[in-house]
Structure formats: C-alpha cells, structure tokens
Amino acid sequence: MEEKNLILAVDIGTTETKAVLVSPDGYIDSCRCGCSLSYPAKSCVEQSPEEIAEAIYSTSRKTLADHPDLVSRLAGVVFTSQMQNTIPVDREGKPLMNMLSWMDERAAEFTQKEMYKGLVKIEGYPVTKLIKFLRITGGMPGKNGKDTVCKLAWMKKTKPDLYDSVHKFLDVKDYAVFLATGNYVSSYDMANITWLMDTRKKNQAQWTWSEDIHRLYGLDSRKMPELKPSTAIAGKVTATFSGRTGVPEGLPVVNGSGDLLTSAIGSGAIEMGQMHINIGTAGWVATHHPGYGIDMNHYVGSIVSGIPGVFLLISKQETLGAALDWLKRMLYPPELTQGLSSSDIYGMLDAEAAKSAPGSNNIILTPWLFGERSPINNPHLRGQIFNICMNTTRADLLRSAMEGVAYNIRWGMEFVEALSRKKVRPTTDMVRLIGGASKSGIWCQIFADVLQKPVLQMMNPQMACAQGAASIAMVALGIYKDFSEIDRMLKKGTLYKPDPSTRKVYEMLYEQFKALYRNNKAGFTKINH
C-alpha cells in the first residue's frame, strides 16, 4: 500500500505566496506567485482577499499538476502566513472590504488618543491598561495602531455599521483555512499577538478570547474564530477547494501557525535555549522557551510558539538585510547591474566585502535606517557610517554593513539569552542562521566572529516557513513522533567557527557601536521628531 506521508504547505507572505510539496525528508518542489499591495490613503496598506485566494488556488494547483504521481501520497494540507492582518467577512465568508495589512497604520491616531488615555504613564503607556494587558494577554499593543485590537477598536468607533455587519474577523492563515474547510479556526500563536486572548491558564487548551479586553473597547468576542492548537485538525478539504486546487476532497487540513513561528521551527533550533537568527529585510534573534518572559527595558518579550505549550523569546529588529540592500543601491546602481541575476549581484557583494579585513578598517555602520524596535525602541534613530577617511574603500563599506547587522544582533541576543537563562540551561551555544544572510559565507563567518559562537548555515532559507509548517502537519498526522524529527527535513550548510584572531577588534568595535547610540540618541530625537 502506498504510504501517505507528503504535505502540501502553503506559505502566504506579504508579497509572495508559495505552495510547497514536502516529504518527511525534505523539500520536493514548489510554485510561487506574487501578491500586490495597495495604498489607498496615507498610512493605509491593503491587500485584496480575492487575490490572496487566487494565489492559494493557483500555486497549489500548479505544484500538484507538476507531480501528478505524488497526489495520491498526500497526507494533509497546512497553511502559514504573514501575521497581524485583518479580514472582516460576512456569514458566507465573503470579505466585506480589503484586508488591512500588518503594515497599515490608519488606527495610529485613534490608538494614541483613545486607547492610550491615562493620567499616569510609563514610557507613554497608561499604567492601569498596561498592567491589565500584561496580566491577561502577556503583552501590550503598540502605539502605531498596527495591532489587531487597535484596528478593531478603531473600526468599532469610526465605522460602527461595518463592524456590526462583520461575522468573523480573520487573519490570512485563518482565511486560508476557511477557504479550504469552510470552518472559522485560528491558532493560539496567531491569536496571541492580537492582544485579545486570555493566556492566564497554564493549560494552553483552556485559553480563550478575553471578554475583559473585548469589553474595554466595546468589542464582541463572538466575532472571533474558534481557537485551536497549531497541530489540531481544522477540518477537511471541501469539494469546492478540491475543484480549485486538485487537492483530494476530504484530506485533513492542519491548523498551522504564523510565518514567524514556522520560520523559528524551520530553523531547526527547537531545543529550549538554542538560539536562531533570521536575517531578511528585517529580522530577529530568538529561542524557544518553556513559559512567558519579558524584559520591558530592552523590548524583549515572548510570544506563543507554533509548537504547542511552548513560547518564543524574541528580539525583533527593524532593518537588517535592508541596510545592506540600501548600500548596494548606493554603490551599485541598476545601470551597473543590468542583466545580472540577484545571486550574481550578491555574489559580487560578498567578493568585494572579502577584500576588507575584519573590522572594516575601524568603520562602523549602524543599521537603524528606519528606527529600531529592540533592544532599543526608538523610532527616531537613523543609520550612521562612522569613522570614514580618505582611504576608505567600497569593500570597507560593504563589510561594515554586514558587521553592523551582526553587532545589532549580538546586542539583542545578550538580553534574549539573559532572559532565557533564568529558566533554561542550553545544551549548545551553536546558533542557526536562516534568511538571506545564510546564503553568504562571509556574512556567516562575520556572525560567528562577532557573536563568538559557532554559526550553522541553514540551506534553502526561503523554505524555512513552509518546512516549519509542514513539520507541524507531520506531528499532527503522526508522520513525525515529535518536532525533533524536523532535522530529517532540513539541509545544512557549513558550520562556521569563531576566529580567535578577530576577537580583540570586534570586542572594541562592538563597544563603540553601543556608544554611538548612547552618544547620539538625543540628537536623533531632536532632528527626527
């Protein structure tokens, strides 16, 4: 009898959707298509739910059509997606408006004026509401209005008729689950960062939508989807979804998790206390953790993991790979790279950066091109290129960008580690690296030298989300006995070990990197306020 052990994992990103066919031993094939953003007004960022739906249908259909001999081996479907989006739907599941993207800030003014009212404040947060949110949800919505609770409160206040007509508010993954099954189901990790879920019970299965937080803003918890673990079966593939995609009708649909959480799983760093780094446009340093943890002074916190019963301690950072991309555009304008592939261009950057010695001739680039979240929460920060001189080369500048990102990650990692070590004694100090930076050998070595830790290069970083989601499905369906088996799936590159000869220069420059923040933060605030 043919073994059913393949998973169709659909990864719905902000600008790209991928349908990925995965076996217990790794990635098989995928199909992808782009998704567009619209900007109808200042601070407004939307996406068409219909376009998202078509992307899910078309990529799934193409991936399976390319492998007709494997369709019979499908064991299930799972979704992962961008997080903190809002799709209001009616009783038939029809969207009532475009999706409010996680980038949408139309609720910012309302959030600051209405939700942040209070006589006594800490760092701008009203104390009574801060305590209430932390006690019930484990976190606090930001002032930028991007969080789900802010968007719903804004809609209730400014568009009450629209709010009243909504049957369910869904995030992207939840919408995908509905398209596939007809059921309204969300996962605890997606619900966690809406700041609308009560997480006070030790048993995750007892978590519910918080009536207290909903009442605070006149919201109706009945408009939220059912909550289930990431590994729960959300339903079965309907005839309609089967007809649009080629996925066999009746196949189990696993609930799945948000893309940040599936990436963390897809790094393979699933042991408590083991660090992983993700360097994309933005990025983070994080580790799985047995419970909640928070360092409010350095903006390190915990969110619910895609692994049931587990949390993720995380320092999220605003512009990491984006800093190198900015420098690339400055040094290599499009007319100089015309006809070159992306891999060719980044290979050229690596080769050039390698011409500069560790420390980039004592040049420091701070990657705060769009403010920073952690370990310093300061939207007024901007990047600096410090200590340039007449003999500074292009190679120095490129290497300084890579090193600056590594300094920033080390800074955040120190506080993540300090929080983690209160409960966990890690079995290894090896750090796993995913995201675009993992493709660069020189960048991997820089991370190892700056962090003074071995860095394991993970291959196929663009598949981390999908492979993490697929592992959730494999645990749910009994293909894996537990999450430790994900290592079967992941392809590893080189293990980069710290070069002791670089330690002195990097320790000195790292201290100067932090000093640049201390010495200039007042000026940044004055200039960019």
pLDDT tops 80 at residue 185: yes
Q: What is the pLDDT of residue 143?
A: 81
Q: Which helix (H) or strand (E) holds 401?
A: helix 394-420
pLDDT tens digits along 376-406 = 988 889 999 999 999 999 999 999 999 999 9
Tell which wins on pLDDT, 3 or 52: 52
Q: What is the pLDDT of residue 125?
A: 75
Indicate the Cα dihedral angle 431, 437, 443, 445, nearest 10°.
30
Q: What is the pLDDT of residue 1?
A: 57
CB atoms near residue 361 (< 10 Å) = 18
Q: What is the pLDDT of residue 294?
A: 86
Q: What is the pLDDT of residue 318?
A: 87
Q: How far is Cα 292 from Cα 312, in angstroms, rounded to an integer?
A: 8
Tell which wins on pLDDT, 192 or 139: 192
**pTM across the whole model:** 0.93
Give the list of residues 6+ apart from residue 527 with CB closer than 8 angstroms, or none: 380
- Which CA distances in Å does 287 have to 190, 271, 365, 431, 439? 18, 8, 26, 10, 21
pLDDT tens digits along 28-68 = 999 999 999 999 998 899 999 999 999 999 999 999 999 99
DSSP notation for 445-492: HHHHHHHTS-EEEES-GGGHHHHHHHHHHHHHTTSSSSGGGGGGT--E
Candidates 156, 300, 191, 176; CA nearest to 235 is 176
- 3-state secondary structure labels for all residues of 295-323: ECCCCEEEEECCCCCCEEEEEEECCCHHH
pLDDT tens digits along 330-377 = 999 988 899 999 889 999 999 999 999 999 999 999 999 988 989 998
What is the pLDDT of the chain when averaged over all its residues? Answer: 94
What domains does the chain contain, in order, with CATH numbers? 6-261 (3.30.420.40)
Straight-line distance from the first to the last Cα atom of the chain, in angstroms, rounded to the nearest whole number: 67
- Give CA 94 to chain center in angstroms: 27
Percentage of residues in the chain having pLDDT higher than 70 = 99
Contact 76, 36 (CB under 8 A): no
pLDDT tops 80 at residue 120: no
DSSP notation for 71-82: GGGEEEEEEEE-
pLDDT tens digits along 420-457 = 999 999 889 999 999 989 999 999 999 999 999 999 99
SS3 187: strand
Q: How far is Cα 21 from Cα 27, in angstroms, rounded to an integer?
A: 6
Task: Assign 123 a pLDDT band (cuts: 50, 70, 90).
Answer: low
Q: How many CA atoms lie within 13 A of 519 on its CB side?
A: 8
Tell which wins on pLDDT, 299 or 65: 65
Task: Assign 118 a pLDDT band (cuts: 50, 70, 90).
Answer: confident
